Each structure stands twice: as C-alpha cells, then as structure tokens.
Structure 1
C-alpha cells in the first residue's frame, strides 16, 4: 500500500497541500517542542524490486525522492525539494506520466491521475517538445481529485503554480545521451529558470543505470497490458476506434461492454473505462488499449490547454525599511500578493532581508521581495507601483527582473 493510513488522512486535511507545496500562505506546522517533526513516507511500487520512495517532513519543508531498484543496496536519492539548496529536476514529464501509469497497473488502489502524480509532479519538468495540451489535463485532474472544488472554472491553482515553477522550455535545457547510453539533462544559457538536477551528464550521484531500468520495466508493464489477444477482437477494435476520436469519451460504455464480451479482464483498465474517476483516467486507458503513443489521445479529448501561450515573469523588489514600522516589508508583501492574486496575475512574498551594524546592535535596513507576475507584465507592474506609491515607498524601492542584473523596471505613478 503506497499511502499508509496516516499519510492518507493527512493529505485529506485542508492545510496539507499548501504546506507540502511550500505555499507562502501556508500555516506554520513547525513545533519547536516536538522531538521529531511530522514526517511521512510513501512507496510507489512498480514490481520487480522497483519503487519510488517519497520522504516528506512537512515542518522542515523538505521532500526527498529516492529510487529503489535491484542492485541498489538501499534507495538512492534522485532529487529533493526544499527552500534552500533544492535539486528537484529529476525527470521529464513523459517519464512521470509513464511511471504513474505503470504503478497504477501494478497497484489497483493507486489510480492515475491521482495522489502519485500530485505528489511527484514537483520532480518533473517541461522541456522543448512537451505539448501542454497533453500535460495540463492530467496534472489538473490529479490536483482536482486531491482538492475538489478549488478549480474555480479554470485550471487548478496548484496546476498553474507547478507550470510556473517547472516550465523550463526556452531556457536552454537539453536532453543528451551519456557515453553509457543513459539520458542526462543539461542547460546551456541562463535565460529563465535555472536547472537544478542530479541528472547532469557528468554526475556521479545519480543512479543512471537503475533509472533506465526503472523506465524499461514500466514500458514492459504497459506493453503487456496492451498486448492481450482479446484486444484484437473486431468488436473491441471498432469500439476503440470510436473512443479514439475527439468525442471518444462519449463511447466508453460500448467499449466496456465489448471488452467484457471479449473476455478482457485487466482490473485497472476495465475499471478506468467502465467507472473512471475522471475523464483523464479513461483517456490514458483507451490510449493503452488502442496501442496509441503515450499522450496522443489527451489533446483530442480535452482540446487546447488553458495554459497555452501563458507567460510568467519573476521579479525582485528591494524595499528599504529603515525608519519604517516593524514588519513593514511583510505588510507590503501581503498587500502585493493579495492584489496580484485578486487580479489573477501572480503573488508576492518576502524572500530575504538585510541589516547593518550600528553601535552594539544591528538595524534592519531593507527587505527583498520575490514577485511572480503572470500573463500581463504591464498590468502587474502597475499594481505593484500603485501599492508602493500608496506607502510612499516607490521612490526608494527598486524592482528588477530576477537574474537580469541591473535591468530596472520603472515604478511609475499610476494615473
């Protein structure tokens, strides 16, 4: 069982996902009096001795992902996420989707999309060639099932946050083959989000051979599920052809009947067709049964991704606070975040501060705020300028594009 009762119950609590995803507005769950801070372990078994082991310590904002595989004496860390020295870029999106599908076939209790995808997507990232039309519905379904009712008619907030943090398209990230034939990832250039991965071509810390074997084992499981001879029955093929059309989800009931009549018995795929928890679950099941390439049917069933064409900008705001009220920086960050979120344009949070020594003590002189603005940079900057001018802080504050050196964004007074 991948999720023990304690973790399953914790995931159902309202504060779990904000805390797990390091949401700036998440409540503080650190207990300074506790000998051991709250931690949980989830093992996603693939069979054959393969498993992904997720170890999370919520209070310390630390999440570790390890690989267990034949030949490894113990699970080996392949990536981790925290608020300091993170290395979360473990796998390409198609690898995560493949592993979730294969684990679901092995463990009927773990449906896909569902908890595995929601928990592990922080370790997957997008690179050139990844089609958002085939990605967004699965991620959105996973978070929607974990946090029902939070979609607000658009994509889940968690889906958009994941996209903002893990979209490395256009940042010079490339997949390469090492001399031993295993895939590695590298980044050429510094435009956009940086790559932090143990899977670099010259890495001695990543278990390349075991990871390749994991993916090969997952593909074997998928192939075995799709190779059943009953799937060649004419009535089944006709039903699958109808389900492979853009309106194919309307024909799932006849497909379920045809599979049952032909004697197909795989419990996970039969359930996904006959009683899907979400349309996305039926979609990957039909892909598998039809022998379609992974992800090909998703855009047909779901259409263009709401995130297609989306952009985001990361900015750094230096805010002098000497002579200001206590927690002035936190107040401004809160107002900025509320205004940007209300406009659907992003968020803000305090990322650091600076003090200088005066006499025998130190004086707090400035705060550094991290801002994320989505889709409309000009409107987002206008909101920032308006709030700073309302506090008389725009004349001394400095707004820059993060990672762009001295490129300053003007904070003009709104009309």
Structure 2
C-alpha cells in the first residue's frame, strides 16, 4: 500500500491510499486520532467516490502546498484525489480544468476524469443541512456524504477551516473563463444479446476505442433455473458524440448478425 499524506494545518491531514491498481481510499486524519476516517473510496465492487467539491480539493491542496514543499499545487494531491470530486455545474469545470490539466498532464486526461466525475445531467445537487454541512442529493450518486452516514462532517468542517487559516483566510480567486470541456459528456447505452457476447463485446470495445468514442464491457447475464444462459448484458459508454457512438454500435452489431438488437440509453 502507498499513502500520500497531506497536512492542511491544525493537525489535520488528507490521506490518499492506494491498496492496489483498483482500490483507492480518501481519508481524513484529525488531531490526536490514532487512525483516519474514510471520506470516500474507489474499488471494483461497490465504489463510493463522490466525496468532494472541486473548491474543497483546491483549498486543501493549496494549504498542503503552503506547508509541504513536496506537495506543490497543482500537483500530487490534486492528481491523487481528483477521482473523489463530483461535478454538478459547468462553473466547477471552468475552475477545475486548468489546475487539473497541470496536475494530470493533459487535457485528454482531464476529459477522462470528467467522464467519471460528471453529474450535471443527473439532477445531483449540493444541499446544506441545518448544521451547516453540505450533503449530496440526487439519483445515481455514490457517496457517504449524506445525512445519517458515517461521513465525518464535524471533522471535515474543522479541516476546511484549518486549511483556510493556513492560507490566512478564505481564498479569493478570479472567475475562470468558460472551459471548452463544458461540452464533454458520457452516455451509457445498454445492450441485451441472446448469443454468447465475447466476440461482439471485444469488437465493440475495439471500434469505440479506435475512434476515441468510448468503450464496451459485459455487465452480466440471465439464466434459467437449470443454469442455461438465455441473455447477456453489455454496457456501452459513449463519449461526447452520442449519434456517432450509436452508429459504431449499429455497424458492429450488423457485422455479427444482430440486426434486431437495439441499444437503449440509460
């Protein structure tokens, strides 16, 4: 396991721990605690990545840079913790795109990040509780940051306050210019096949990746009580151009004789 530990002031620290190539945890350490408390995690089973607003990551990363020369901003902390940011508005993309491009190395990498983080069209919003905590609400959000959860709301408020104190107060940043990445979108198509899907899925994935339009992967199957498979399910992710993605899917299905199979948009 590799852990990046970023102090933000007042004894608070943000930890990003990589257990393996598929598992990453974001945690908070508070003063006097023996361990840390999980804010979010990414794994291959049941991920809960939606933990941060971009402005929060930007704040703690600036504080960490002020305290530790080995953690310049934008740099290691932004790159490591970006997967825990959820995007709910165009203005968040405007603010995040330049520092993320510097931290991740390219606009293409930022675009891939946005495909994962984007919740603009799912009705996901931030709401403030009577205690003053920001929580996530909406369909399709995978988070601990909801009322009644184990998310360390009091500790997180204190960590953000400590970061502001490290920087001498709230950070006033100029309004960023609108980012061309506002136009980025990821669409999910569902396919149901009634023949073994391996060759079709491989062909779909290769065709979409070759055109930089997305990817495809098997997502499950249906069988009878006797264990006979009757249907296979495929998830197709299309980036930006839905109609072009649909055309690629249609062409691959036709080449494999699946003339009546139609993808549905989820």
**Is TM (by shorter chain) over 0.5?**
yes
Q: Secondary structure at the match of 1:87?
A: coil
Residue of 378, 395, 404 corresponding to 2:243: 378
Runs (4+) of structure 1 exceeding 4 A deviation are none
What do the CA deviations read for 1:13-59 (whole angstroms, capped 9, x no partner)? xxxxxxxxxxxxxxxxxxxxxxxxxx322212223221112222215
Q: Does 1:392 align with 2:266?
A: no
Q: Whole-Å Cα distance in 2 between the matches of residues 292 and 95 of structure 1?
A: 11
Query: Whose Rg is larger?
Result: 1
Deviation at 1:175, TM superposition (A): 2.0
Residue of 189, 195, 202 corresponding to 2:141: 195
Q: Give me the TM-score of the superposition, normalised by structure 2.
A: 0.90
1:367 corresponds in structure 2 to 232
Q: For the Cα contact (< 8 Å) 2:194–2:232, is it kept in 1?
A: yes
Q: Whole-Å Cα distance in 1 between the matches of residues 222 and 18 of structure 2?
A: 31
Q: For the Cα contact (< 8 Å) 1:319–1:398, is it kept in 2?
A: no
Q: Whole-Å Cα distance in 1 between the matches of residues 264 and 203 of structure 2?
A: 19
Deviation at 1:87, TM superposition (A): 1.3
What does residue range 88-167 of structure 1 map to in structure 2 within 5 Å?
Answer: 88-128=49-89, 130-144=91-105, 151=106, 155-156=107-108, 158-167=109-118
| Count of paired positions | 266
What does residue range 209-358 of structure 1 map to in structure 2 within 5 Å?
Answer: 209-223=154-168, 293-294=172-173, 296=174, 298-299=176-177, 304-321=178-195, 324=196, 329-358=197-226
- Whose relative contact order is higher, 1 or 2, with alpha carbons under 8 Å and at least 6 apart? 2
What do the CA deviations read for 1:299-352 (whole angstroms, capped 9, x no partner)? 3xxxx423122332111111222xx5xxxx232222212222222221112222
Q: Whole-Å Cα distance in 1 between the matches of residues 39 and 50 of structure 2?
A: 9
List alignment gaps of at least 5 residues for structure 1.
1-38, 145-150, 225-290, 403-415
What do the CA deviations read for 1:99-154 (whole angstroms, capped 9, x no partner)? 1111111110112222211111111111236342222121122111xxxxxx4xxx
Q: For the Cα contact (< 8 Å) 2:188–2:237, is it kept in 1?
A: yes
Q: Going by fraction, where is strand more abundant, 1 or 2?
A: 2
Q: For the Cα contact (< 8 Å) 2:220–2:232, is it kept in 1?
A: yes
Deviation at 1:357, TM superposition (A): 4.7
Q: Give me the TM-score of the superposition, normalised by structure 1.
A: 0.60
Q: Secondary structure at the match of 2:168?
A: helix
Q: For the Cα contact (< 8 Å) 2:54–2:92, is it kept in 1?
A: no
Q: Secondary structure at the match of 1:205?
A: coil
Q: Going by fraction, where is helix more abundant, 1 or 2?
A: 1
Over the aligned positions, Cα root-mean-square deviation in angstroms equals 2.2
Deviation at 1:161, TM superposition (A): 2.0
What do the CA deviations read for 1:148-185 (whole angstroms, capped 9, x no partner)? xxx4xxx22x3222211211123222222222222222
